[in-house]
Amino acid sequence: MVEAMYSIGELRSEASPRFPPKQSGLIGVTQIAIVFEGLGVLLEQELIDIKLVDSLFGPTLDALWEPTRPLINWMRESLKQPTFFSHFEYLRNRLNDYRKGNA
């Protein structure tokens, strides 16, 4: 997980990510997205509480969503799978909505 986060940190430092991305960046994005995809499924199925997600992963999710979003969109287009990692995106959106309602 730390290596995946580090590879995403490297993507943040690049002015514009390469497409197709470097293999290490793509692997890191995929590893991170799989974790948050699973949390998104749990949240959507009401098996985990959004407050718990925010407490455990809030700042991490904030730091990782933006640099991974362009690569996730690239994967969606390349694989012709418009819903690829959609639960990760759902998780991010729900977390934002939760924070707006509890600010």
Encode the chain (103 residues) as per-residue pLDDT tens digits.
656 655 665 555 554 445 545 555 677 788 889 999 999 999 999 999 999 999 998 888 888 888 888 888 888 998 899 999 999 999 999 999 999 888 6
Structure tokens at 99: 């924070």
CA atoms within 13 A on the CB side of 13: 7
Question: Which of 69, 68, 18, 61 minimizes the C-alpha distance to 39?
Answer: 61
The model's pTM: 0.79
d(CA 55, CA 23): 31
For the chain, the domains span 2-101
The DSSP call for residue 82 is: T
